[in-house]
Structure 1
Amino acid sequence: MGNSSRKEEEEEEKEEETDGETVHITERKEKKKKKEEEEEVELPLGVEELLTSGDPVLDLSYRKFRRLPLRVCGLEHLEKLYVCGNSLRTLPDSITQLKGLRILALDFNKMEDVPLAVCQLSNLTRLYLGSNRLISLPPELRNLQRLRCLWMESNYFQRFPRQLFDLPHLRSLQMGDNRLRTLPSDLWRMEALRGLWLYGNRFDEFPRVLLRMEGLEILDLDKNKITEFPSLKRLPALRLFSYDHNPVEGPPRVGEEVVLVGEGAEEAMQDREYWKEQALAEAREAEELALAGEEEPVIHGILKNSCSAPSRTADDLLVAVGQEEDGDSERKDDEGDFERPSTDYDGNELEYDEDGLEYEREELIYEGEGFEFEGGGLEYERGEMDYEYEEEEELQHRERRVQQ
């Protein structure tokens, strides 16, 4: 009994030492991180001007930073921050001060985890995490409720992150060049998704859940091991499907508006265009035949009154242009012919009302063979004149003069 009690005491002492050492290590890491954050990074040439420019867009890409300069976190006016192609492993917690940040690009760095501080940037709409060392996403990523675009290509994801289901506005998801073999059966819950890039993964079969993604417009499954594709005609919104570098004999069946990328895609689209043109040509031909079988419409032209043409009544002229005139138009002279219209015009201005043009006229005094004006001694002999009725308004004017 005594020996067993002594062993238990020794084990408890070891556990206390281990716990103490763990706590000590954790505290030491935190102190080191805080010290690193407090140390100002030496700024490369030209960066100082960028930091003091007041521009809402800051591009610090490929500057060989191992830590983000703390001064960046004080630029609360920033809306877009690009720090691609550096050697960042994390970001300072003070980056949460960038409340207005909408775009954050962290591609081509050395991050093994998404910094939790990033998950507090609630106004982010685009987040680029490609070409890092990620294998998972933190649960806190759900806080990015406004996120519309997430690119995580060229990482080490073996499973599809289910945290993405809680991002209601995510439209573009780039997960190419990862290690995915399957997709979750409830992926269809991501109803806002419009573009999905899954090239360079390890799919042996076409993920059937994609057939329920009716809102997808772009689907990229290049560089997988898929041997057979189902018909994609049930995806009504699909506009681009890429299947290149898969062991398949030809493209799948898709809608007429879908652009295909892959082996045999060019020939398939050429055939589709050919048959489409043939269908259009047949439709045009059928329409022309239908029109040819119809009775040609009668076109009423405007008649012309000349010396050689037989005399026509005013009613005949009105019928020819499809108009009707109120009042009696059969005013004839003693010999049964219409009186020829006079060409006299007194020069007075025209008056216009809603019913048409109305001319002020003076009474004409006929004496002998000519017209006599009150105040002028000119006499005009009546002469034979021809009138061409080429305009509708002129026709109406002539007809009124006939009726007078």
Structure 2
Amino acid sequence: MHQPSVQGGANAAVARSRPSVPGTPRSYNARMNAHHSSFDVAVIGGGLVGKTAALALTQCGLRVALLAQHCQPLPGDAVFDSRIYALSASSQALLERLRVWQALDASRLSPVYDMRVYGDAHAELHFSAFQASVPQLAWIAESSLIEHALDAALRFQPNLTWLDTRAQGLDVKTGGATIGLANGNVLEADLVVGADGAHSWVRAQIGSKTSRRDYRQTGVVANFKAERPHGETAYQWFRDGEVIALLPLPDGHVSLVWSALTDHANTLIRLDPAQLAAEVERVTMGALGKLDCVTPPQGFPLALQTVDRLVAPRVALVGDAAHLIHPLAGQGMNLGLRDVASLVDVIAKKEAFRDLGDTVLLRRYERSRSEDIRALTIATDGLQRLFSLPGNIARAVRNTGMAFVGGQPLVKRWLVSAALG
């Protein structure tokens, strides 16, 4: 019997699926016209990771229910979304396989060819795509741009049912998972994918315990028009326990991600556009000349969160439901998309006799993700702790370390390779 394939499209064979239930909806944004419907997979959560998971699984030929809200309209042509992501090569490859990358507006994407990192005592690191022999270090893309491309792709998946409601009950039994919905309907699925964020309802239902460390920091994001060309370079500064990043956007714009202590972040958010621009110019030492703030600043709390297990019988966690890391490395979204790629790969390679919710199968997914998640968690948390330590000795140690890495081409190439996924 054929195995599902992520490239197989809607006509790919399915290793195991439930018998079709008469009247079960099969179209984008369908309304359930029966009180009880059956699916191969139910994806709970409609962020970028959840929608990517739903699309990848439908392209395996599986019948998928997506429980999520529809996204908001795209910002105007002259405005860039303040929520941006630095997408790695592995994330780009996944979106290309799903034919989402090809649908993105290229005029709103920016490659990153170079990255310059500055310590708090004149140490500097330079990463170059040319020196690493890769086309680019990353792509900078707006969250809303990716989300709308995913929505467009999902719209034409005959195996997808989009339910604009939320789950409020989960009952897992040997024969399948039953999900009670807020609209009074019930659905069954062989597998439930929890992609519902850091405060995951699905995670709570399966009793997966979390370990959380509040960084007492807030990520402040805003976009600026820069006086000087950024040259497709990403900049990052470590200053007084905070991290300031300027990421390149098209047409001479840059995106600010300032991981600031919460009280300081609140002050930054209250500044008027001219004052905020002046403060960013000051802390970045005018690297890009005069800045003009073009979007109001927004803030989101920063924390480290790990879970004791990614899977339970008939349930798998992906994205922020499975892990939360500091944004200083820009790897949170890439980590979540690698979750999706691994889960789909495990499903595509499963034995024909195995159920989609088979615990043995799901543990393969968990094992495939453990090293990647652990390594990035330790690296980002370690860097955050290191650059938060006060005192001259700590400052000397971290800047000496940066200088050492800067003089080791092989180490830098390894770091670039790790970041590419």
TM-score (norm 2): 0.20
Higher-RCO chain (CA-CA 8 Å, sequence separation at least 6): 2
Greater strand fraction, Structure 1 or Structure 2:
2
Greater helix fraction, Structure 1 or Structure 2:
2
